[in-house]
């Protein structure tokens, strides 16, 4: 009998977690393939229009009901977290000047899709090399925010944290500055206990949102969200309210900045994910003037390339023109 056959699900899960930590993942847990309650909440949110114009969220919703619809041989979902916390100033702690823009913390370093996927590839290779696990690397499927998987729901079920009132996964005590990734695996693993809600009566994220994008606790309406306006919208100028936009040119961190669980977040150990200095407080006039070639050169291997030069420039121009109409200048600050 093989070592893989001898190992019980708890022993296999322990080995999986040890490999994950050795590959640099900060969080790791295991969940079952099906989460019917989470799927129903997702379905209801899409039916209410909260997915805005992000068609990929609404296409074939049944695919998100059970990961075995994506990977039929999956017996377990390994959920992993990689911190992107850094020590760069936040929007509220150090407001940008009127000639500066704000880029969300997650997009200030290297594009997480590529970096975390590289970590996942190393991880499944380690699984394949471990005789106590015994599956080829090609028998696992990996996703980094790229597939029809409800990552946050699986992360909560795997014990990595709970989904907070700002709709983000929150880990105790490391907060919410995490990228999530999953491995759909044929390994039969022991499942972790789900995390429970620790938000209590706190509603700081709801009250701090400048656009009132939360119609209820735990529910985000993307149509009102600055991140959607500046990242996902095909026509950000038409989608957004300039008076509520602040200095945000790409994304928004306010609902995370005010969260008490983020007070003790440790900076990421992943150097490529740390903020590039020129992405912390970029000048609006610089961003406004980028053509597509200059945009790609300015943001190499960056999650900012989720948008393009035209859209980023339009957002920067809108902010600068709004400030000019209001008579706001750097000299007057």
pLDDT on residue 333: 40
Cα atoms found within 13 Å of the Cα of residue 203, Cβ hemisphere only = 9
pLDDT on residue 98: 97
Helix (H, G, I), strand (E, B) or coil at 248: strand
Strand runs labelled E in 192-327: 248-250
> Which letter, b or e, does each residue of 33-50 get, where b requires 16 or more Cβ atoms within 10 Å of its Cβ?
bebeebbebbeebbeeeb
pLDDT on residue 137: 84
Find the length of the chain: 333
pLDDT on residue 56: 73
Quick one: which of 187, 230, 168 has its CA closest to 17?
A: 187
pLDDT on residue 329: 52
181: β partners:
80
Q: How many CB atoms lie within 10 A of CB 52?
A: 18
pTM of the predicted structure, to 2 decimals: 0.93
pLDDT on residue 135: 86
Residue entry with tokens 């799927």: 39
CA 242/CA 186 separation, integer angstroms: 49
Q: Which residues are catalytic?
A: 145
pLDDT on residue 88: 87
| Distance from chain centroid for Cα 247 | 21
Strand runs labelled E in the chain: 27-31, 76-83, 102-103, 141-143, 162-163, 169-170, 178-185, 248-250
Give the Å distances, CA to CA, from 297 to 115, 215, 287, 290, 315. Answer: 19, 39, 12, 10, 19
CA 174/CA 58 separation, integer angstroms: 31
Ranges under pLDDT 50 in the chain: 1-2, 330-333
């Amino acid at each position: 009998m093989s070592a893989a056959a001898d190992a019980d699900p708890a022993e296999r899960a322990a080995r999986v977690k040890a490999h994950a930590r050795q590959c640099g993942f900060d969080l790791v847990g295991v969940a079952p393939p099906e989460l019917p309650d989470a799927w129903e909440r997702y379905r209801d949110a899409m039916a209410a229009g909260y997915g805005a114009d992000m068609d990929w969220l609404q296409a074939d919703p049944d695919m998100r009901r059970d990961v075995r619809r994506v990977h039929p041989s999956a017996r377990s979902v390994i959920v992993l977290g990689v911190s992107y916390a850094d020590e760069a100033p936040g929007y509220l702690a150090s407001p940008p000047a009127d000639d500066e823009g704000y880029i969300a913390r997650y997009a200030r370093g290297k594009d997480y899709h590529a970096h975390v996927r590289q970590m996942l590839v190393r991880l499944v290779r380690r699984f394949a090399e471990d005789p106590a696990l015994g599956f080829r690397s090609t028998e696992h499927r990996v996703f980094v925010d790229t597939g029809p998987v409800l990552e946050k729901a699986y992360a909560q079920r795997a014990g990595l944290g709970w989904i907070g009132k700002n709709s983000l996964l929150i880990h105790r005590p490391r907060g919410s500055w995490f990228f999530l990734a999953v491995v759909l695996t044929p390994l039969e693993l022991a499942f972790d206990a789900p995390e429970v809600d620790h938000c209590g009566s706190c509603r700081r994220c709801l009250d701090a949102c400048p656009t009132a994008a939360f119609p209820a606790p735990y529910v985000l309406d993307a149509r009102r969200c600055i991140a959607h306006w500046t990242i996902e919208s095909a026509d950000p100028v038409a989608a957004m309210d300039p008076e509520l936009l602040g200095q945000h040119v790409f994304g928004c961190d306010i609902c995370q900045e005010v969260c008490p669980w983020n007070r003790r977040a440790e900076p990421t150990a992943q150097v490529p994910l740390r903020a590039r200095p020129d992405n912390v407080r970029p000048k609006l006039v610089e961003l406004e003037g980028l053509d597509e070639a200059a945009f790609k050169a300015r943001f190499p291997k960056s999650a900012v390339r989720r948008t393009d030069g035209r859209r980023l420039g339009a957002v920067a121009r809108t902010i600068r023109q709004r400030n000019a109409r209001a008579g706001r200048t750097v000299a007057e600050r």
